[in-house]
Each structure stands twice: as structure tokens, then as C-alpha cells.
Chain A
Amino acid sequence: MLLSEQDQFLSYNGEVLLFQLSKPKHAEEADDKTMNLCVRRMVFNRDTKLFVQKSSGVFSLGASHSKIEIICCSCTTDSRTGIILPCILMKNKKRNTVKYFLLLLHSSNQFEPSFYFKLDYELKEDVRLFAGPSLLWRHANKLFYISSNTCVVQSAPVQLSSVVWTGDIVGEGTVVLGIRTACLPETEDPDEFSISDRAIWGSEFFGYTIQTQKMLSGTCFMPHAYSRVVSSVYVCKSERLKKQLRISLVAITHKNQLIWFQNGVPKGVCELPYEKPCSVKPALTRRNDLLFVVSFASGNSCVVQRRDSLQVASKWQKVKSVLVDDFIGSGSEQLLLLFNDDADTDVLSTFKITDLGEVNYASGIIYKHDVPAAEGLQENGLLTVRALETRLQAGWTSVRELQQHLGLQKRVILESCRALIDLVEERTHILPNSKEVKCRRCLVSLWDDVENPVDSLGKETSLASEVPEHFTEELWHRVVGDRLVVGVKLTESFHLSLSEVSLSLVMDQDFSSISPIIKCQSKIIKLNKAFSALAVSSSQTEPPPKKMKLDLHRKNDLKKEFPKRSSRIQLDGAKTVTAVTSLSPLLAFHRVCCVVLLHARKQNHQNDSLQQSKKMTVLCGKILLSLEDISNDRYSVKMLRDNSYCTGSMEDILAVLAVSVRFSFQIVSCDCTLTPVSSWLLGEMECTPFKECQDNIFCHKAGNVHGTIFNWALKNPFEGVLTVFCRNLIVLFQCLHSLTRVLPPSCSVKLLKSGSKGVLTEQLALALEKEILTLKNSLFLKETKAESSLTWGNESGKKMNNAPLASLLDTEEGVQQFRKKFQHEREESVRTMNQTMNGALYQEIALKIAEAQLSSDMIVWRLA
């Protein structure tokens, strides 16, 4: 406190001590040069609400040709008695030397000189009084101190740039907390966040104990980082726990912040309302709030309250001094604010006593009520406010509960709505051909039932003459990884007339010991050629007006009326049948020649597939594999990145698709569009579309996922199907994990089992229809043959009507129920006819029915 003003205020035991330097009133008694140091004890009178002088004392300073000043005053412990006494540091400047002396003030208003010393410079920086009484100061980056015990100026062996605090620390005695330039440790940790504060900011804290003259670590006070900004500190509490020093303190910084530290860790920050804070001290008021009073260089003051967080509770301007003590004698501390008042002559006339709670006294206010009454009123008000606060809290809690409940309800409703919409859509609406690739896993042909392949081959080739010549366009083979892929491209006209298509590979050579049939897996792959969803041209032409129904709620109508923006270009309907087999067993033969056979069931188009079609086998050609070719990578797949496209021949793409595992995921977002998926594919996964079939995109990202093929088909902005063709499940996992980080959290991702639900349900419907028709036809056949006169058809028609198909086909149970009903009907009809039947005919019928039931069973299984 380097107040240059003459008057010094000090609070002591609820009194205000006012120190003044004055010339003696009776000028004739002494000469001009004598100075008096006066002290006036002022106490607050609660009746008059004013400060009144209780007593006073004078100390005569016989100084000639000198200038006497008060440097500072403080209350410190007198080490002789242990009593805290006010003490005052005085300066007497005589030419070059300056004499400093410390006076203690006793309760009898008598001053006692404690010690004095002479310096050849003036005390300016970090002058502090502490227990003893003792005094320390900083000069030329060095620390000096003197105490009443020694009366000798000592210096500490440290270089320092400032002292931020002096006081007692438990177990250490008086400690000086200072700041100095950091001495940097040489080693640096490579971790990016482990650079030490000292390395970053270049200065550090240190503690110095006066008694034992040892150094303490600064980190138990504050992180070193703060040594660059802290200007003043107040240590609130220091204790030892298991030899560890635990310190709570509050610091003010040049950055105009007040920071609360506990055990060296910042626990709270508060921005101060004014610039240049210079001191901080605590006050403990009635409501057990810890207040921090901050004084600023500009003469402003503020109070920071510590509750949940640190907050500026109040601020004042033009404050001469802030004292903290129990001035009104209430048992807790108040703040006494003394304001700068130019006009007023009388001391302590402009003041304010407050504890930021119920106690408030200010000069110049006439109180109408008695203090106790007023206090009672305030008490009441406080209680009311507290009660209201509690009620508010309770209300707030219940409102929050209600909100939570509402939110939950809303979510349930939303979820149900979505489920309903899904259900409705799935059932009544066929998924648009968003699947550009249709892979259908067909039969695994093992062919171990063939006894003489060569013979059968001869037989089949003779059969082949029956089929049109141009049924296959191309036969190719590729090596992907350790697998061989053989592909047969079918002409469009041909594949339409076929069903259950599969390939088999038969070795041409005769190795007597080994079965010539090669175990392989067949797939049918259909690719849409050269269409890109990116190349959408927004239709600029006005569509013709349509007859529109106005039931806007129903989405189906809308969908019909809005053609997909990606208006489909004519499909290149060429299908390819592939067979995948393990390559390594074939390598043992050095050179292998394989015959590729196509198995299919030819559909009879004349009467709409009601007649069971004939199985047939067609020779597609031969492939030749040699070790050299494989070694030279002749048949390997080449996928190159060409600008924004991936170039690879159609065969390469098909080969990769054939060996990949296919997974489809339905991605639904409830509140935002799904653009992150495509940006994820094109960005993070570094995918590029194939030039040949642009719906499929190839992942170029280095690592395990390289080579994965994706297909992203948006059904609407909020729903789409992502199909992943990957080598193995780990790759799938990696892709999905990466995807989930990109997807909005509200998205749901669902695995679609073997084709979409919509397609499968349709298939099921068809299969069931077929089953019914088979049954009906066969019975009619029987009927006509038996020439029965009973009208069976009518009855069946009736029965069909009262079982609404649509409701039954939804679930497996429904299907079962339906079948039961049908079985019942069949039995009934048989009973009614009560006719004998040709054994062969019955056999045929039974076989057909069993086949039809098998196929519908299969679909139900896939759907489940």
C-alpha cells in the first residue's frame, strides 16, 4: 500500500484507526520542524449511524531539516506478546540517506518505536509488513528483510522479479511467494500437450521461507503459467496433509481476472470489471459467503462472491479505501468503503458499511426505522425470498420432469409413426429399382450326383442344339486374390426365358483319381451400365397437368406423380452368371482346361410358367489356366484411378463383385438429410465411380478397405440403401465403424437380409399364388379326368373371398394359417369328391404341390 496521501486508515478490532501527520497546534511551544503523528480511534455508532471518535493519541517526531512520511501501516503480530498490534512504517529522508522506523500502537494510544534502519535508497517495490513485526522489500531484483528481533537488514539469496504474497504457511513460518525467470529443464516430452508451463511462458513461482531460508516449490500455490500474469495473491488456507502442502488461494492478474486456486489447480475464474487490479483481501460476512474485495489502481473497488462460481457481486468507483472488519459489532465482518470526497473536511463522513446482505449503512441517509426493526424486516424479506427460491426450485424440477415425460411421449409417438409409415410403405409399395446391382445367390452346385460327367456332357451338348445359338455373349475368367472367377454373359433375350441359372466347371482332362467336378459357387450379377446418379439433369420442362387426388397424406400417390429425379436410362439388362472357385487346388495341375457348363430351367412362356419348365444344361466353352498366366498376372483384376473415375473392364468389376460378400444396409435419418453418406464415400473413403457403371463406386483408400465396392441408392432425402461388397467381415466392420462417425446420431442403420423386404414380400405373394394355382389346377385336372359333377370351383371361390389375402401374407404365422386353411379345404374337397384317383396322377400332383410349397417356404425363411 503505497499511499502518498497523508492520511492512513487501518481497521483494528472493529475500530477505524486514522493516522495523520500534522504540525503541532501550538507553534510557539516547539519550532517549525517538529511533526506530530496523530492517531484517532473512530467507532461506528449504531444509533446515530455515524462514526465518532473514541480516543486519540499523539506521537511527536522531532525531526529537523527532514521530510517525514508515512509509508504504510498494517496490523501484525508482536512476537514478544503474540498480540496483533497496529504498526506503522515511517520514513525520514535526510539528504542522501533515508531513515526508516517502525512504530507499534498500543491500546492506550501510545506509540512504541520498534526498530529503525538506514538505507541509501528509497523503498519502493513490494514493501510488506509481516509478523515480528518485520518488514521486507525488493530492490534491484533482490529481496531484503528486517525484523524487530534482529534489527539487521538481511538479503535472501534469490533473484526475483516481484513478490506477490507474504505470510504464514503452516509448518514453514513466514513465506514469501515470488516470481522469477524460469530455469528451463532441458528434456522435452514429445507429447504435444506436455510442454511445461515454464517452457511456454518463461517464468515461475517460488516460495522462500524467511526463518529457515529454504526454497519451496511454487506449484503447490499455482501453475507456473500464472507467474506471467499474477499481480497479487491472498492465501486463504494452508494445511498439511500427509506432508503435502495444500493451499487455497485467490489471485488477481494483469488480465483483469480473479482466479481461485486449490492445491495448485485453478478452480474458478472471474472477470473483473475494471483494469489494473492491485490488491485483494477476503471478508467473511454473515451469510458465510466468502467475499473477495479487489481494489484497483484507478481507485475503483469491487467485491467478488464465491458461491457456485465466482461472480462480481458489487462494484464502486472513487473509493479511497476499503476496510474489512466487524464495525457494527454484529459478529461477522462488513466492508467499510471510504469514498473520495473533495469537499468534505471531516474524516469518515462519506462512507458505506455493507456486507452485501442485510447490513447496509451509508452516510447521508436518514433512517426512518429503528435498526432492529429494520433488521427484522430484512430478515423476513430474506426468509420470504428463500422460501420463494425453494418453491421456484421445486416448480422448476417438476416442469423439467414434465418436459422429460413429454419428450419421451413424443419420441414414442414419433417412433410408432415411423414404424407405421415403414410398414405401410413396405407393404404397398415396391421398392424402386434403386438396386442397380442384383446379385442373387443361387444354387451351390456340387454335382456329386453326376456319375459320368463325360457321358452327361455328351448328352447335354446334344441338348444344346435346341437352344438359340446366341445365348451367351462372352466367356471370361479372372483371378481375384486366391480365387478364380469364371463369368458367362447371357444375352438378354435368353436370360429372360431362364430361371435357376447356375454354372459348373468340369475339368476337361481325365484324372482318374480326382472328381472332375470343381466345387464352385454361382451368382447372377446384373449391372446397370453407364448411368450416374450424379449426372442428373433437372427437368426444365413443365410436366403436363395431371389429375391429382388431393389426399396429400398418402405418400404413394405422390410418389407416383413425382418420377424419380434420377430418371432411369434404359437398362442394359445383360446378366452375367459367375462361378467362383478356389484357385490353389487347380494350380496343382500345372495346366488346366475347364469346361464351363450352364444349368438352367427353361421357362415355358406359353402358359405363364404354370407348367413346370424343363431343366437344361448348356456348354458355354472352355477356359485354359496355366501357371505362367497366373504368375504373370494375366488374369488379375486391374482397377485404376483415372481422374474422378475408376477404370476397369466390366469383367474386372464383375469378378470383384462375384468374390465379395454383399451386405445391404438401410439407412434412415429422422431429422436431417443423408448427404453425409455420399460425402463420406467420396471424401473419407476416397471412392470413385466406375466409368462403366457409375452407380457402383470403388474405394481407393489405402489399407484393408481398398477394393471395397459400394452402392449408395437414395430412396428419398431421408432414406437410402447402402450396399457394401467387401472382401471379408473385418473390412465391413471397418467401413461401418467409419460410417457411424460420419452419420448424424439420429440415423438408424439396419441390415437388409438377402434383398429388401419389399422385394421378398412380393416374391412370397407370387410363390403363394403359384402354390394356390398349382393346387387348383391339379385338382381341376383330377376333376376333369374323373368327370365329377360336383362344382368345386364355386366353393373354393367363396372360401378364397372370406380370407383376405393381404392381411394374411404379412407374417409367417399368417402364411402358416393360410396354408392350414388351404389344407383343410383340400381335404374337404377330396372328401366331397370321394373319388378314386389314378396313382400316377396323384404322384404328379403331390410332387408339384410339394415343390410349390418348398419355394414359398424358402422365401418365408429368407424373410424371417
Chain B
Amino acid sequence: MKRRRGTEPEPEPERGCLRAWAAHSRALVGQWMTARCGGEARQVRRQQRDEFRELLLSIRGLPAALPTLPLELTVLYNSLLFTVGASDSAIKGEAEGIRQGLLRVLEACGACGQDLGMEELWQKVLQEVTMEELQAPLHRLGALQAAWWLAASRLGSVAGLFQLMSTAEDPGRAHCSEGQNKLLSMIKAWQVPPEGASLPLVQSAKDLKEILCTAAAFLQGLQELEAGNFPTALSLLQEAAGGFCSKNILAQIYTCLGCCSLRMGKPQTALQHLKRALQVDFQCLPALSHVAAVYHELGETDAEMQALTLLYEALGKNPPAAASSSPYFLMQTELLVHTPVLTSLLRHHHPSEVKYLLAQRCLQDGRVADAVEHYLDFLSLLQEGLQQQVPLDGSSALPRIPVVFLEAASALEQAGRHQDAITVCEEVISRTTDLIPRVVRVEERLEQPECPLPGAGLAGGLLSQKESLCCLAWRAAGYLHQGWAWAKLGESKEAVTQFSRCLSDLLRVQLHGSGIKQIENLQAEVEVLQKIRLLSLIGRGTQFLELGRHKEALLDFQHSLQISPGDQAAASYLVQALWKLNRKQEAAAQWQKFSQGSPGEDGRQQQGQGRPLPLYLVSCLEQAMFPHSEPLARSIQDYLGAAAQDTS
């Protein structure tokens, strides 16, 4: 400009604001186009956002006028895109800028719409403003508005807007073909206004349309998935997978497709989708945890283990947060789709959770050595710090920590590391000591516990009671494990002591009312307690037998039969005790009674009818099995045979 001033002595041509703004806008877009490939994209975005804001501010500093509106709306479009692109987080709230833009359009046309809602404002603008040169910028702005509404899951508003924008062009194409999604076909039918060279855009409306299509399909797919309409969800998600999106999003869509397929009962298809997700983006670790879950469902433990191991490794290698978005696009599908469903589907597992899952599956599958390793790894993770290692958001796969300890003890015991098992149990016992009241009264409640309207306090009370019962169960289970461990070590006296401690702890529970069944909410806990009691009694009985205190053993076995009539192990031990007491006739009678009463009935079968037993009790159950049923049966049969011969 200076040079021009120097060479031209005559008054220079008037520099209009419109021309200056247009030049400024073009320069800014040009800057972005060259800068966006560089490394400092984030910085550039901020700078551009501020510059566009300033430009918009100066344009808005003058009264709205029709000749300047196309430029103003284009600057607004670019400015909004940079606002989105610079923040890099999901779009939230209303786009106030769009509202002001529309009001300016109305102002220029001599109308006003201050008190209208956004939907009505759009309707008014699109219906009343018919200036040809305003259509393209208005439509582009409409696409941005749609993005904002999509991000807020206001699908109805989006559909309405596209309806308005398409009726403006050709009303005939509004109806969509059979079976196609209405919103999607409406977005697709929208004709993208051509981009003029004089008003360049930082991201084309065509891109925006593609992004809207993907986001709309994805969002609706997720909604249908949540609503349980799986076939619809599947087709929508597949539509989304075919759309324009980044690797991250594609992997997420495939993951959702996998989940959808799984819920439709097609685990193999689910696996295919999940693998595809990983293929697209290996950082999509939720897909890997879903893979593990599918294998679990299919019962393919080896595959599940491998998946979990891989997941654990991957989690250790790179923090899952390092998801980089594309530096070239300001508006992205990522910014539009953020629903709770998606968040829960894509929940990142914490390494400690995966470790626990590995340990638990190993234990369930009987891979004791592996289980011990994993449990010990997990416990050492806990040592490093609970807060960092364990997600506390409630949706964790982790059980309560004492349960993990007990499971670890169970694994150690099965691996023959009895001393270690005892140590781990000691930990549980010492930690829970202060948490258990002297007496836990579990009472039958006359009023239905299902009506918690006024009874918030009541519910709270129930909750704390439940908590007490849990603590009691853990502690008792700790003693039980210790008892069995000592028994294995041949220290029968020590074992008896531990079993007795267990039993005396269990006496703190006082069941009132007509039985256990009434207490619906606490039934699970009470059942567990009963089971522990049974196993403890059998355990102590066996140790008494070892010590030769047959009478005390007999008493324990009788008690255990009272708790669980028909328990095969208890019955067998009872017979053995009687036999050792030389009460052979009684023994034979009992034996006959049990062998007839429950042919093939098993303690575990009995268990299968009710709730599944906590994992940490499974090993105790196995230990409580009667080991010498064959020789006992033979000797009793011999005896019976001899007796028959005697009588005959």
C-alpha cells in the first residue's frame, strides 16, 4: 500500500470495508491452508480462531447490510469451525454465533426474531429470506448448526433443519426409499452449495456433509443399540462404517458393531467386527477387551486368556489417552458423537482390572500356577497404590478387595503354598476385625422392603447390615482357609483352632424370624455364611478324626448335616466317624439311608441349583469332599453282607 501511495499522487480509490474484509478473510484461509500441514497445527488454530473472531467482530460492528451478508456468514462459518477446531473437545451447548448471524440476516431484511428459539429462527430465516446470494452461505451455516444439534443429540431438530433446506430446493425428493433411515436420507439429499473462489472456506461444506452423515448414522445406531433394536442398529452402524471418518472413529464403530452382533447372538460376526476394529486402530483397546468377553462367552478359555494377556501388555505399553486427532480437519466426527452408551462401550479397562480378570479366569479354569502368578501380580499392583491402580468409578470389573485376597489365598492353597495362603488370609482377618459388630441381627421385616419411599434410613440400615454380613463372611472365610491350610500342613490342632474361630465368628449372626428366605435382600450373604459354616464344621470334624477325637468329630458332622441335610461329604464323614466309633450298625444304617436317598447327588450339584458359590469357596468345597468313599463303601458292604449272613 505504501508503494502505491508513493507512485499515485491522485486520490486513491476508496477502499471499501467489504473489499478489505474479503481480502482479510481470504488471507486468513490461505494462511490456514499452508499452515495446517505443519507441525504447529494447534497453535495455528488458536491464532486463526482469534483472528477470525476479530474479523467477525469488526464486521458485526457495522449495521447488517445485504451486500455484506454473504461475506459475514462465510466468516462466521470459518470462525465457528476454528472455535471447534481449537478447543479440540466435544461440541457443547448452543452455537450463540449462529444465532447472532441469523439475527443479523433478519436485521438486514428489516425483520426481527430476538425472542424466537433456534428452530423457529431457522424456519423464519430460511422461509423468509429468499435472496439468491444468501442461500449458499445460509445453507453452509445450516450444516454447522446441524453439527451442533447432532452433538447435543437433537436429531429431531437436525431433521427439521434439513427438511427446511431441502424444501427450499426440490420438495419432491424429501421422501426416502423404503427401509432407509429418514434423517440420513435427508442429509444425503441435501445439495451442498458450491464453493466460490471469492469466499474460500477452511473446511468445505462437502466434508461437513460427509461428517454429518457418519455422525448421524453412528449416533442413531448407538441409540438403537441402547433401545435394543439390534438389526436397525446394525444397519445404521454399518452405514456409519462406510462413511467418512478417522481411524479412531472407524475402530469405535466396528467395536460397536461387534457389541451389537454379540447381543444379537452372533459371536463369530462379533469377533470379525472387533478384529476389524483392531486392524484399523490397534489403540482401540476396548475392542480387545470385548474380544476377550466374546471368547469367554464362547467358552474358549485359551483364546480369552491370550486376548486378556495381549490387552494387559498393550495397556502397559502406551497410555490409552494418546489418541491423536487429525490435524487437518477442524470439524470431526469425534467432536459430534459422545453419548453415555458409547462411553460405556468404549470404557478403557484399567491394567489392574485386566490382571484380575486373568487371575480369576485362571483360577476358574483350574490353571492354579498361572492364577497364583496373576494374583500375586495384582496384589503387588495394589501395593503400589490403590488410587492409581484401581478405577473407582463403580463400573469396574473388580470385586471387593477382600474377595480378591481370599481368591488369591485359594489359589495359593491349591498350588500347595499353604503358608503363603495363611499369610494372605491373616491380612483379610486383621483388616476386617474392626468392621464387624459384636452381633449382627438379621431380622424379618414385616413391611415389604421393596417400598423404600419414606425409608431412606431403613434402606441405609439394610445396606450397612449387608456390609457387616459381607465383612463377616470374608473374615470367616479367611479362618476357613487357614483351617484347611493348617490341615494340609498336618497341624491338626492349629487347624481345629482356626475352624473354631470361624465357627464362633459365625455365631455373631442372629437370624430372627421364620427363616432365611424372608430376607430377600440379604439372602445371598446368608447363604454364603451357611456354606462357610458347613465347610468349617466338616473341616473341624475331619481334624478331630485325625486327632482321634471321634466323638467331637461325630458331633460336628451331625451339625453340618443339620445345616445342609443330604450333603454327601458330611454324610460320608458321619458314617466314617460312626464306623471309627465302632457303631457299625448305625454307620451302616446311615450309609444305606444316604446312598438310597440321594443317588448321585453331589454337593456341587446342590450348589448349582442356587446361586453360584463365591470363587474363593470353591477350593474349600473340593477339600471338604470325602476322599475315601470307595474303601468305606466296601467295608460297610462287607459288614452288611456279614450281618445278612449272620441273620440268615
When A225-B62, A552-B310 are in contact, do A544 and B268 touch as well, CB less than 8 Å? yes
**Please, how many angstroms separate the alpha-carbon atoms of A268 and B61 in the complex?**
11
Looking at chain B's contact residues, the main secondary structure is: helix
**Please, how many angstroms separate the alpha-carbon atoms of A673 and B22 in the complex?**
33
When A193-B22, A550-B303 are in contact, do A201 and B62 touch as well, CB less than 8 Å? yes
Q: Which of A676-700 contact B (CB under 8 A)?
A: 676, 679, 683
Asked if B269 contacts A672 (CB within 8 A), the reply is no
Q: Is B68 an interface residue (CB 8 A)?
A: yes
**Please, how many angstroms separate the alpha-carbon atoms of A217 and B451 in the complex?**
84
Asked if A257 contacts B310 (CB within 8 A), the reply is no
Q: Is A404 an interface residue (CB 8 A)?
A: yes
Asked if B18 contacts A542 (CB within 8 A), the reply is no
**Please, how many angstroms separate the alpha-carbon atoms of A58 and B54 in the complex?**
52
When A548-B271, A562-B272, A679-B206 are in contact, do A271 and B329 touch as well, CB less than 8 Å? no
Q: Which of B230-272 contact A (CB under 8 A)?
A: 234-235, 238, 241-247, 250, 266-269, 271-272
- Closest CB of chain B to A312's CB: distance in Å? 13
Give 1 or 0 for each of A612-648: 1 = CB within 8 Å of chain B CB: 0000000000000000000000000000000000000
Given A198-B14, A538-B234, A679-B206, 9 more pairs with CB closer than 8 A: A193-B22, A225-B62, A255-B61, A543-B272, A544-B268, A561-B272, A675-B243, A676-B206, A676-B244
Q: Which of B328-369 contact A (CB under 8 A)?
A: 328-329
Stretch with Cβ within 8 A of B (4 or more), from A112-120, A258-266, A521-529, A804-812:
A258-266
Q: Is B399 an interface residue (CB 8 A)?
A: no
Chain A neighbourhood of B245, CB < 8 A: 672-673
**Please, how many angstroms separate the alpha-carbon atoms of A503 and B142 in the complex?**
59
Q: Which of B277-326 contact A (CB under 8 A)?
A: 278-280, 282, 288, 291, 298, 303, 306-307, 310, 324, 326
Give 1 or 0 for each of B57-85: 1 = CB within 8 Å of chain A CB: 11011110101100100000000000000
**Please, how many angstroms separate the alpha-carbon atoms of A562 and B279 in the complex?**
11
Q: Which of these, A194, A266, A744, contacts B58 with CB under 8 Å?
A: A266
Q: Which of these, B20, B246, B303, B326, contacts A548 with CB under 8 Å?
A: B303
- Closest CB of chain A to B382's CB: distance in Å? 28
Q: Is B275 an interface residue (CB 8 A)?
A: yes
Give 1 or 0 for each of B33-73: 1 = CB within 8 Å of chain A CB: 00011011001000000000010011011110101100100
Q: Is B491 an interface residue (CB 8 A)?
A: no
Asked if B268 contacts A255 (CB within 8 A), the reply is no
Q: Is A407 an interface residue (CB 8 A)?
A: yes
Q: Number of contact residues on A: which range applies? A: 35 or more
Give 1 or 0 for each of B201-243: 1 = CB within 8 Å of chain A CB: 0000011001000000000000000000000001100100111
Asked if B16 contacts A225 (CB within 8 A), the reply is yes
**Please, how many angstroms separate the alpha-carbon atoms of A201 and B16 in the complex?**
11
- Closest CB of chain B to A503's CB: distance in Å? 42
- Closest CB of chain B to A215's CB: distance in Å? 13
Asked if A558 contacts B275 (CB within 8 A), the reply is yes
Give 1 or 0 for each of B414-453: 1 = CB within 8 Å of chain A CB: 0000000000000000000000000000000000000000
Give 1 or 0 for each of A737-766: 1 = CB within 8 Å of chain B CB: 000001011100000000000000000000
Asked if B329 contacts A404 (CB within 8 A), the reply is no
Chain B neighbourhood of A195, CB < 8 A: 16, 18, 67
Asked if A550 contacts B244 (CB within 8 A), the reply is no
**Please, how many angstroms separate the alpha-carbon atoms of A562 and B274 in the complex?**
11
Chain A neighbourhood of B54, CB < 8 A: 268-269, 309
Asked if B275 contacts A404 (CB within 8 A), the reply is no
Residue pairs across A and B with Cβ atoms less than 8 A apart, 17 shown, are A197-B16, A219-B14, A219-B15, A223-B16, A253-B61, A255-B63, A266-B17, A407-B39, A408-B39, A544-B268, A562-B272, A562-B276, A672-B246, A717-B250, A717-B280, A745-B328, A746-B328
**Please, how many angstroms separate the alpha-carbon atoms of A407 and B278 in the complex?**
24
Question: Which of the listed residues A193, A244, A269 has the most CB atoms from chain B within 10 Å of its own CB?
Answer: A193
Give 1 or 0 for each of A194-205: 1 = CB within 8 Å of chain B CB: 111111110000
Q: Is A228 an interface residue (CB 8 A)?
A: yes
Q: Which of these, A199, A257, A546, A552, contacts B268 with CB under 8 Å?
A: A546
**Which 8 residue pairs across A and B have the least CB separation, nearest first?**
A675-B244, A225-B17, A550-B306, A542-B266, A193-B22, A257-B61, A671-B326, A407-B39
Chain B neighbourhood of A265, CB < 8 A: 15, 20
Q: Which of these, A193, A201, A229, A746, contacts B19 with CB under 8 Å?
A: A193
Asked if B40 contacts A404 (CB within 8 A), the reply is yes
- Closest CB of chain A to B37's CB: distance in Å? 6
Asked if B15 contacts A552 (CB within 8 A), the reply is no
Asked if A542 contacts B243 (CB within 8 A), the reply is no
When A196-B16, A200-B68, A219-B14 are in contact, do A673 and B269 touch as well, CB less than 8 Å? no
Asked if A223 contacts B17 (CB within 8 A), the reply is yes
Q: Is B198 an interface residue (CB 8 A)?
A: yes
Q: Which of these, B6, B71, B235, contacts A193 with CB under 8 Å?
A: B71
- Closest CB of chain B to A243's CB: distance in Å? 8
Which chain A residue shows the least CB distance to B245?
Answer: A673
Chain B neighbourhood of A451, CB < 8 A: none
**Please, how many angstroms separate the alpha-carbon atoms of A552 and B63 in the complex?**
62
- Closest CB of chain A to B221's CB: distance in Å? 13
Chain B neighbourhood of A411, CB < 8 A: 39
**Please, how many angstroms separate the alpha-carbon atoms of A83 and B275 in the complex?**
89
Q: Is A545 an interface residue (CB 8 A)?
A: yes
Q: Is A476 an interface residue (CB 8 A)?
A: no
Give 1 or 0 for each of A529-559: 1 = CB within 8 Å of chain B CB: 0000000001000111110101011010010
Chain A neighbourhood of B326, CB < 8 A: 671-672, 744, 746
**Please, how many angstroms separate the alpha-carbon atoms of A170 and B272 in the complex?**
81
Asked if A259 contacts B329 (CB within 8 A), the reply is no
Asked if A558 contacts B15 (CB within 8 A), the reply is no
Chain B neighbourhood of A683, CB < 8 A: 206
Q: Is A274 an interface residue (CB 8 A)?
A: no
Asked if A257 contacts B57 (CB within 8 A), the reply is yes
Q: Is A226 an interface residue (CB 8 A)?
A: yes
Q: Is B11 an interface residue (CB 8 A)?
A: yes
Q: Which of these, B16, B36, B266, B310, contacts A194 with CB under 8 Å?
A: B16
Give 1 or 0 for each of A707-750: 1 = CB within 8 Å of chain B CB: 00000000011100000000000000000000000101110000
Question: Which of the listed residues A217, A553, A672, A718 has the most CB atoms from chain B within 10 Å of its own CB?
Answer: A672
Asked if A542 contacts B268 (CB within 8 A), the reply is yes
Q: Is A242 an interface residue (CB 8 A)?
A: yes
Asked if B275 contacts A561 (CB within 8 A), the reply is yes
- Closest CB of chain B to A744's CB: distance in Å? 6
- Closest CB of chain B to A47's CB: distance in Å? 46
**Please, how many angstroms separate the alpha-carbon atoms of A319 and B188 in the complex?**
58
Q: Which of these, A229, A550, A673, contacts B61 with CB under 8 Å?
A: A229
Asked if B62 contacts A718 (CB within 8 A), the reply is no
Q: Is A192 an interface residue (CB 8 A)?
A: yes
Q: Is B400 an interface residue (CB 8 A)?
A: no
Q: Is B5 an interface residue (CB 8 A)?
A: yes
Chain B neighbourhood of A546, CB < 8 A: 268
Chain A neighbourhood of B268, CB < 8 A: 542-546
Asked if A242 contacts B6 (CB within 8 A), the reply is yes
- Closest CB of chain B to A738's CB: distance in Å? 13
- Closest CB of chain A to B631's CB: distance in Å? 45
Asked if B14 contacts A196 (CB within 8 A), the reply is yes
**Please, how many angstroms separate the alpha-carbon atoms of A562 and B280 in the complex?**
13
**Please, how many angstroms separate the alpha-carbon atoms of A504 and B247 in the complex?**
51
- Closest CB of chain B to A226's CB: distance in Å? 7
- Closest CB of chain B to A604's CB: distance in Å? 43
Question: Which of the listed residues B5, B18, B291 has the most CB atoms from chain A within 10 Å of its own CB?
Answer: B18
Which chain B residue shows the least CB distance to A185?
Answer: B14
**Please, how many angstroms separate the alpha-carbon atoms of A562 and B268 in the complex?**
11
**Please, how many angstroms separate the alpha-carbon atoms of A193 and B63 in the complex?**
17
**Please, how many angstroms separate the alpha-carbon atoms of A546 and B11 in the complex?**
83
- Closest CB of chain A to B181's CB: distance in Å? 15
Chain A neighbourhood of B242, CB < 8 A: 675
Give 1 or 0 for each of B73-112: 1 = CB within 8 Å of chain A CB: 0000000000000000000000000000000000000000
**Please, how many angstroms separate the alpha-carbon atoms of A864 and B196 in the complex?**
43
Chain B neighbourhood of A671, CB < 8 A: 246-247, 326
Asked if B18 contacts A193 (CB within 8 A), the reply is yes
